Amino acid sequence: MRLLATSQNWPGVFLNIFTKEVKMARNQSVTGNFIYNNIEKKGKNFMYKNLERSNCYNCDFSNSNFDYVNFRGAHFKSSNFFKCSFKWAEFIGTNLKGSDFKNATFENTLFDSVNLEGANFKDAKFKNTIFLSTDVTKAKNFDFEQSGIKIYNEMPQFEISEDLRIATENVMRNKYVKAARVLDTKDGDINLINLMILLDNFDEQTLLKGLTIIENQLDCDFYTLSYLIKFLNNNIDL
């Protein structure tokens, strides 16, 4: 028997349609961002994805690859990242409350102003990973003794040369660099933690040359510091 939207039943008909549309809206990927609730995405390759401002709750990403991923401003709460890889991933202003990172791998990873309340890092491996303005004491099973972890309560301060300061300020005249927000802070100051990372990968003279190349030649959108490092490796003679 066909159901007609009569005056008696039309509210229920449209309520069912609306409910289905809401469920669809809660589980989708829009321009790279994730908006997922209660789904499984196990063993997936999300390498190089821009997941800025994504919003996920109670999702299972076990055994997935998140290398070189941008998590700026994203919410991944109560989700499972068992045995996931996060090489060169960037968590900036990210909410990871209640998520599970058991046996996950972090290498050259940055956590900046991240909510780790209740996040579980049991048997997670860290190599050259930085925690900045992030309360790691709120996390569970966090191994403070691992040598691959650096923790800064606030932006580290160190002296840079005048030439490097000028070059860093100049490169931000490139609209793509400015939009990426990887070399400046929200207050407009030079991002010293990222500059420190660059100096760990290049000597100062090479970096000065590279910043000039970036200012004049970089002509596409990007989202992470790791992209700049790759760009420099590909465009300057070391």
Q: What's the pLDDT score for residue 34?
A: 83
Q: What's the pLDDT score for residue 186?
A: 86
Instruction: Give tens-digit pLDDT for 74-89.
Output: 999 999 999 999 999 9
Contact present, 84 and 66 (Cβ < 8 Å): yes
Which residue is associated with the tokens 């991944």? 76
- Which stretches of the chain score pLDDT less than 50? 1-26, 29-30
Domains belonging to the chain, first-starting first, are 28-152 (2.160.20.80), 162-235 (no CATH)
Q: What's the pLDDT score for residue 23?
A: 39
Q: What are phi and psi of 9, to 5 degrees?
A: -115, -5
Q: What's the pLDDT score for residue 8?
A: 46
